[in-house]
Amino acid sequence: MSEILVLNSGSSSLKFALYANTTESTTATSEANKDPALKALSLTYRGHFSGLGTKGAAVSLKQVAENGQEHALDELSVADNHEGAITKLMAWLASREGGGALDGIGHRVVHGGQRYREAVVLSAKDVDELETLSSLAPLHQPHCLAPIKLLMARYPEVPQVASFDTAFHADQPWVAKQFALPRELTVKGLIRYGFHGLSYDYINRTLPEVLPDAAACERVIVAHLGNGASLCAIHNGKSVASTMGFTALEGLVMGTRSGTLDPGLVLHLIEHEGMSVKDVSTLLYKQSGLLGVSGISSDMRELLTSDAPEAHEAIDLYCYRIAREIGSLAAALGGVDQLVFTAGIGEHAARVREQVAAQCEWLGVQLDNDANARNETRIAHVDSRVGMWVIPTDEERVIASDCLTQLGLV
Ligand SMILES: Nc1ncnc2c1ncn2[C@@H]1O[C@H](COP(=O)(O)OP(=O)(O)O)[C@@H](O)[C@H]1O
Ligand SMILES: CC(=O)OP(=O)(O)O
Ligand SMILES: [Mg+2]
């Protein structure tokens, strides 16, 4: 039985998961036949180093039994930074009884640019190529590539696979990818890529199992509302539009990112507010969004429990932008059959879903308030014309499944 390690590196966190490949024991079942690469994976451990580089650094590690029950372990200590987290993780892996020999390591890489349209077994040349995209995803790409380089040097015999946030969107219609810029810039790759593709891929593969048999699912909108946030329009299983573009800055209001704004405002900041390119980058990536508007926090949990009017203004703007963009994606799809909420906020913040739903009633969206308050999977009222769902995302499982496929293990 082979074992796969998955790393999902964020700007201040490192999520990881360990899977056993159970292909031989499960391929005969009808479960496995639904999506063999996803179902062949049995999660054995999952963990999360969070708050890396901050005072609030924390760590969690859970062992997962075959029946899915989780058992917290205290075998990992808090790390200060990404390198420390990986060093601790590898030491723990090697110390496990019967553990240590990995068959592959799968990584989330946020930007794949024009070249990387699907997961790939990484060479050192690929890593160099992906490094050239770091300025297009400054909060993510360096943190995705650092562990790859570290692990390649330490474990040259273990193949490493990259799964890209951009890949799910690679075949969007050209009109959805273009900016109205001169052609010489467009051909250089200044186009809309879209992100959170691993999460959308997971939801796209999972939704058919959740929907009742006869439910229409030609036109689906997925709201990935985490620290970063975006929407994706999926038509017959393919991404056709997304709110994120050239970088993960476009679109919705996020924890610390502004989302869409008038490009003339950026010019104004440089021309009249004396800001450098670096200042503007820091402002838009790290000081805006929920944090900037509320002046309190980038964390939705904190805003939801705050009495400050600024916190409520931030939540109102957050929901308003989502509702407006749902309208835009519904236009791209020619309507909507199913609306799915996922990621930290999408899965847990009933009030956000309620506000968004109220502003989308014109689309035929009608919420079951009780089901919504209980974070149930199905949250649409029986009279709703549009199906509404809360589905926990699992980017790590998609990465592991890409890893099995790329390494020929499934
Ligand atoms: N129970 C909850 N209620 C409301 N918001 C929550 C809850 N749990 C997590 N969140 C929010 O989810 C966001 C983080 O989402 P997550 O998907 O974990 O982000 P990322 O993977 O990008 O780090 C934070 O804004 C956090 O406040
Ligand atoms: C692409 C992106 O914004 O990712 P995250 O939500 O993990 O920050
Ligand atoms: Mg995330």
**Centroid of ligand 2 to alpha carbon of 10 (angstroms):** 7
Reported confidence tier of residue 95, pLDDT bands at 50, 70, 90: confident
Among residues 103, 165, 394, 402, which one is catalytic? 165
Residues 231 and 135 in one domain: no
Q: Is 249 in the pocket of ligand 2 (CB under 6 A)?
A: no
Q: What share of the chain is helix, strand, coil (3-state, %, to 5)?
A: 40, 20, 40
Q: Is 168 in the pocket of ligand 2 (CB under 6 A)?
A: no
Residues 160 and 245 in one domain: no
Out of 131, 164, 197, a domain closes at 164
Tell me if 83 is assigned to some domain.
yes
The string of pLDDT tens digits covering residues 240-279 is 999 999 999 999 999 999 999 999 999 999 999 999 999 9
Residues 15-21 have a mean pLDDT of: 92
Instruction: Tell me: pLDDT of 191 over 80.
Output: yes
Q: What pLDDT score was predicted for residue 13?
A: 83
Place of tokens 């969206």: 365
Instruction: Tell me: pLDDT of 309 over 90.
Output: yes
Residues 384 and 252 in one domain: yes
Instruction: Tell me: pLDDT of 383 over 60.
Output: yes
Residues 106 and 218 in one domain: no
Residue 119 burial (CB < 10 Å; 0-12/13-18/19+)? buried
Q: Is 111 in the pocket of ligand 2 (CB under 6 A)?
A: no
Distance CA 245, CA 247 (A): 5
Q: What pLDDT score was predicted for residue 30?
A: 43
Question: With left for phi above 0 and alpha for psi between -120 and 50, is residue 132 left, alpha or beta?
Answer: alpha
**Centroid of ligand 2 to alpha carbon of 228 (angstroms):** 4
Instruction: Tell me: pLDDT of 28 over 70.
Output: no
Atom of ligand 2 nearest to the CA of 139: 8
Give the residue, out of 163, 169, 196, 285, with the most ligand 2 atoms within 8 A of its beta carbon, to mutate for a pocket test. Answer: 196
Interacting residues of 194 by C-beta distance below 8 A, sequence separation 6+? 166, 168, 169, 172, 230, 232, 239, 242, 244, 245
Residues 346-361 have a mean pLDDT of: 98
Tell me if 410 is assigned to some domain.
no
Instruction: Tell me: pLDDT of 33 over 50.
Output: no
The DSSP element (H or E) to which 47 belongs, if any, is strand 41-50
Residue-averaged pLDDT of the chain: 93
Q: What pLDDT score was predicted for residue 52?
A: 79
The string of pLDDT tens digits covering residues 158-188 is 999 999 999 999 999 999 999 999 999 999 9
Atom of ligand 1 nearest to the CA of 255: 25
Q: Is 248 in the pocket of ligand 2 (CB under 6 A)?
A: yes
Residues 142 and 231 in one domain: no
Atom of ligand 1 nearest to the CA of 50: 23
Interacting residues of 22 by C-beta distance below 8 A, sequence separation 6+? 1, 40, 41, 42
Q: Is 165 a catalytic residue?
A: yes
**Taking a C-beta distance cutoff of 8 angstroms, is the pair 233, 240 a contact?**
yes
Reported confidence tier of residue 288, pLDDT bands at 50, 70, 90: very high
The CATH number of the domain where 322 resides is what? 3.30.420.40
Instruction: Tell me: pLDDT of 100 over 60.
Output: no
What is the SS3 assignment for 296?
coil
Interacting residues of 156 by C-beta distance below 8 A, sequence separation 6+? none
Distance CA 387, CA 207 (A): 11
DSSP 40: T
Residue 43 burial (CB < 10 Å; 0-12/13-18/19+)? buried
Interacting residues of 93 by C-beta distance below 8 A, sequence separation 6+? 5, 18, 99, 100, 102
Reported confidence tier of residue 31, pLDDT bands at 50, 70, 90: very low
Residue 372 sits in which domain range?
212-390
Tell me if 261 is assigned to some domain.
yes
Residues 139 and 253 in one domain: no
Residues 22-41 have a mean pLDDT of: 59
Residues 124 and 27 in one domain: yes
Q: What pLDDT score was predicted for residue 24?
A: 59
Residues 11-33 have a mean pLDDT of: 68
115, 118, 119, 122 alpha-carbon torsion, rounded to 10°: -20
Q: What pLDDT score was predicted for residue 90?
A: 84
Residues 155 and 235 in one domain: no
Residues 147-167 have a mean pLDDT of: 93
Residues 344 and 243 in one domain: yes
Q: What pLDDT score was predicted for residue 29?
A: 43
**Taking a C-beta distance cutoff of 8 angstroms, is the pair 167, 199 a contact?**
no
The string of pLDDT tens digits covering residues 363-372 is 999 999 999 9
**Model ipTM value:** 0.98
Question: With left for phi above 0 and alpha for psi between -120 and 50, is residue 263 left, alpha or beta?
Answer: alpha
Residue 165 to residues 85, 154, 206, 245, Cα–Cα distance (Å) = 22, 26, 17, 12
Residues 207-219 have a mean pLDDT of: 93
Orientation angle between helical segments 350-359 and 309-333, nearest 10 degrees: 50
Residues 360-383 have a mean pLDDT of: 98
What is the SS3 assignment for 234?
strand
State pTM to two decimals. Answer: 0.94
**Centroid of ligand 1 to alpha carbon of 345 (angstroms):** 5
Residue 300 is assigned to a ligand binding site: yes
Q: Is 256 in the pocket of ligand 2 (CB under 6 A)?
A: no
Residues 256 and 157 in one domain: no
Residues 303-323 have a mean pLDDT of: 98
Give the residue, out of 52, 139, 345, with the most ligand 2 atoms within 8 A of its beta carbon, to mutate for a pocket test. Answer: 139
Residue nearest to atom 5 of ligand 2 (CA): 228
Residues 126 and 249 in one domain: no
Residues 158 and 224 in one domain: no
Q: What pLDDT score was predicted for residue 365?
A: 97
Reported confidence tier of residue 155, pLDDT bands at 50, 70, 90: confident
Tell me if 54 is assigned to some domain.
yes
Instruction: Tell me: pLDDT of 409 over 70.
Output: yes
Ligand nearest to the CA of 347: 1
**Centroid of ligand 1 to alpha carbon of 133 (angstroms):** 27
Q: What pLDDT score was predicted for residue 164?
A: 98
**Centroid of ligand 2 to alpha carbon of 139 (angstroms):** 8
Reported confidence tier of residue 27, pLDDT bands at 50, 70, 90: very low
Tell me if 138 is assigned to some domain.
yes
Tell me if 202 is assigned to some domain.
no
Residue 6 to residues 12, 24, 330, Cα–Cα distance (Å) = 17, 21, 34
**Centroid of ligand 2 to alpha carbon of 196 (angstroms):** 6
Tell me if 276 is assigned to some domain.
yes
Give the residue, out of 14, 108, 110, with the most ligand 2 atoms within 8 A of its beta carbon, to mutate for a pocket test. Answer: 110
Of the ranges 99-108, 191-200, 217-226, 242-251, which one carries the lowest mean pLDDT score?
A: 99-108
Of the ranges 30-34, 137-141, 161-165, 263-267, which one carries the lowest mean pLDDT score?
A: 30-34
Residues 341-359 have a mean pLDDT of: 97
Reported confidence tier of residue 221, pLDDT bands at 50, 70, 90: very high
Tell me if 329 is assigned to some domain.
yes
Out of 164, 184, 201, a domain closes at 164
Residues 84-93 have a mean pLDDT of: 89
Number of structural domains, the chain?
A: 2
